[in-house]
Amino acid sequence: MPAIEVSGLRKAYGNLEAVRGVDFMIEEGEVFGLLGPNGAGKTTTVEILEGYRRRDAGDVRVLGHDPQRPGPDFRQRIGVVLQQSDLWPNLTVRETHAIFAGYYEAPRNVDAVIALVGLAEKQDARVKTLSGGQKRRLDLGIALIGDPDLVFLDEPTTGFDPQARRAAWEMIRSLRSLGKTVLLTTHYLDEAEQLADRVAVLREGQIVRIGTPAELTTTDLQTEIRYRENGEEVLVRTDEPTRVLAELTSAAVARGEEIEGLQVRRPSLEEVYLALTAEESAE
């Protein structure tokens, strides 16, 4: 059974259609990235799946539950890291974990989780004394304390410095090795590329592309072939790079010349993403 099934999902706030017919499926154990610029509908989609918001239309199944009318074990089995949330500032890291552990029937060991998120040295520090990155790790710790099968991470590294991001990525990778299903939203491309098994790109409430990071880069933009001819840069974009290259090279071989500065390159995920999310404004 898939961990998450979404079809025809729609949600509007007044006149603003935040989600306009979204379909996707996430398998158990998969790390799935929802990628898109701010306002694309990522958080709305995730908050519907978490049970925070009601949908206007569509079918949603999360761990077999309808999150609008979840059964009693639904919240036992999900872990949530919200985009913005603080915890009790005067409690310690350990106390905070222990309080959340008490909400679950079969919580993980508090010390083990604190160690997993790298806060062992800070376990007796008050929450208000933690740095931004440490607070985010605390968020992750309490999301994992109930030993969830499915973890929602809404922009888990926004505002991190590069080192903190790398550390967070390591932690998210460790979730995969624990067999958790992860739904990650991000507007950072490299993050999706690094972490996600599959990625859906959202734009204005719709999924414009879905697939593995490799599929996105191979099926989308045309291959670029560059070379110099008479000292001038030539750029050819093509869906048939093999044929174009064969023609170019055989002609050059026939003339007994070397093609100057020949380059063949696939677009990066970043270019695919920028092209996908910019289409609207270019039209």
Partner 1 sequence: MSAEAIRVPARGRPVRRLFVHQLRAEQLVFWRSREAAFFIFLFPVLLLVLLLSLYHGGKYQGEPVRWEVLAGLVGYGCANTTFAGLAIQLVLRRESGILKRLRSTPLPPATYIVALLTSTLFVFGLQAVVLFLLGHALYGTPLPSAVGSLVVTLLIGAAAFAALGTAVAMAIRSAEGSSAVVNFVVLPMAFLSGGFGPNNGYPAVLRAIGDVLPLTYFLKLVNAVYLHGHGFWTQPEALAVLGAWGVAGLVLAIRNFSWEPRGR
Does 20 contact partner 1 by CB under 8 A? no
Hey, what are 64's tokens?
């077999």
Does 98 contact partner 1 by CB under 8 A? yes
Closest to 192 in 3D by CA, of 167, 178, 172 = 172
Does 146 contact partner 1 by CB under 8 A? yes
Does 103 contact partner 1 by CB under 8 A? yes
Does 227 contact partner 1 by CB under 8 A? no
Considering only residues 33 through 52, tell me which ones interact with partner 1, judged by CB under 8 A. 50-52
Cite the DSSP H helix spans in the chain: 42-50, 74-77, 93-101, 110-116, 132-144, 162-177, 189-195, 213-219, 241-255, 269-282
| Residue range at the interface with partner 1 (CB under 8 A); choices 98-106, 165-173, 177-185, 195-203 | 98-106
Does 14 contact partner 1 by CB under 8 A? no
Does 90 contact partner 1 by CB under 8 A? yes
Residue from 60, 62, 78, 202 binding partner 1 (CB under 8 A): 78
| Residue range at the interface with partner 1 (CB under 8 A); choices 100-108, 183-191, 210-218, 258-266 | 100-108
Does 94 contact partner 1 by CB under 8 A? yes
Q: Contact, 113 vs 137, CB < 8 A?
A: no
- R_g of the chain, CA atoms, integer Å: 23
Hey, what are 218's tokens?
């191979």
CB of 91 to partner 1, least distance (A): 6
Does 91 contact partner 1 by CB under 8 A? yes
Residue from 105, 239, 258, 283 binding partner 1 (CB under 8 A): 105
| Gap between the Cα atoms of 150 and 51, Å rounded | 13
Closest to 171 in 3D by CA, of 192, 200, 144, 193 = 144
Does 13 contact partner 1 by CB under 8 A? no
Considering only residues 56 through 75, tell me which ones interact with partner 1, judged by CB under 8 A. 72, 75
CB of 151 to partner 1, least distance (A): 11
Angle, CA of 218, 205 and 14, to the nearest 5°: 175
Between residues 40 and 87, which has the closer beta carbon with respect to partner 1?
Answer: 87
CB of 84 to partner 1, least distance (A): 6
**C-alpha distances in angstroms, 84 versus 59, 81, 136, 183, 234?**
27, 8, 9, 17, 48
| Gap between the Cα atoms of 183 and 198, Å rounded | 10
CA dihedral over 27, 32, 36, 42, signed as positive or negative: positive
Does 110 contact partner 1 by CB under 8 A? yes
Q: Which residues bind partner 1 (CB under 8 A)?
A: 50-52, 72, 75-76, 78, 80, 82, 84-92, 94-95, 98-105, 107, 110, 124, 142, 146
